[in-house]
Amino acid sequence: MDPLLLKVLNGVRTPETPVWFMRQAGRFLPEYREIRKQYAFDQVLNDPQLSKKVTLQPIQRFPKLDGAIIFSDILIVLNALGCNVSFEHGSPSIGRTLDQISLNDPVDYSHFDTVQAALKSTRLDLPSHVTLIGFAGAPWTLFAYACDGSNKNGWKKAKELLTQKPLEAEAWLSKISRVTRDLLLLQIASGAQVVQLFDSWAGDLSNDEYLSWALPYAEKTLKDLKVPRIYFPKMQEIPVQLQSFDCEALSISWESSLLLARSRFSTKILQGNLDPKVLLGDENELDKHVQAIMESMKNHGHIFNLGHGILPQTNPKAIQRILDMVKS
């Protein structure tokens, strides 16, 4: 029998709402911080057993969770392309930007070995009610990182490439989409039951830019994958064109209206969209926000989640409180 999260993503109406949290594996958990006292982020990222251990930590602490997202990073695709990404102190640093790399350079798929091994091992030890989630970054988001290294200048180089050298930008986005799709296929073959595509910088594009440079390549990446697909365009105003986007679920940012998304994307399962900052405040306020989301999504396919990742300073008790409310 399929676990709850898979049932909902496959369109089955259930009385219970599945729950998982973006960034649930990692920095807010005391047990993760204990691991980081012994190992650098790079070491955890590149060791399948450590990645597995971190992936399972929130499942062990919060048995009511319905999803386990593998511990990895969206930028491993850029390493496969030759960007030499490092994660000193946990923050990414791009060693070589796209202007220093040839489009014809071969892809080094060995950078995907760790996440494949971690998925295979994790799947064996995962409770039967928990769905294993793989993920990747969307092409525009990876392209932006690969051009600029960070968003401190508003992705200046990336946007210049889009406007000044559109054929080159198109070639890079196509290559990134192809390699990202390969990564997701490898994750699925290794045990991922669901995949999520993170378009973290979708909101930094205008509507027209998004429709030209982000959405088509995200669609190519996810097309015809044989597991349920969640797409997360982190943006305030989600274009109506996503109603026909080839995926089962849309994850909605905390900046967006879940009710508007429900009316605009009536055929999609919706995921989200609690503001992560609410978890840092008063318990009564947290309860109100959780209840409001649950009320707004009655009789519609819904996965409870945040509208972005768990903040590092979050008290684990807030996560347990949400789980108790949603599962009551």
Catalytic residue, from 2, 13, 33, 36: name it. 36
Q: Beta strands 269-272 and 249-252: pairing type?
A: parallel
Q: Between helices 139-148 and 215-222, what is the axis angle to 10°?
A: 120
Rounded-to-integer distance, Cα 144 and Cα 133, Å = 24
User: Is 61 assigned a catalytic role?
Assistant: no
User: Is 204 assigned a catalytic role?
Assistant: no
Rounded-to-integer distance, Cα 170 and Cα 70, Å = 30
User: Is 23 assigned a catalytic role?
Assistant: yes
Query: Beta strands of the chain (E only): which ranges?
Result: 67-69, 85-86, 93-94, 131-137, 194-199, 229-233, 249-252, 269-272, 302-303
Catalytic residue, from 66, 73, 148, 199: name it. 73
User: Is 109 assigned a catalytic role?
Assistant: no
Amino acid at site 9: L
Rounded-to-integer distance, Cα 72 and Cα 32, Å = 14
User: Is 27 assigned a catalytic role?
Assistant: yes
Catalytic residue, from 23, 61, 264, 321: name it. 23
Catalytic residue, from 27, 123, 178, 264: name it. 27
Catalytic residue, from 32, 66, 145, 231: name it. 145
Q: Which residues contact 124 (CB under 8 A, 6 or more apart)?
A: none
Q: Which are the catalytic amino acids?
A: 23, 27, 36, 73, 145
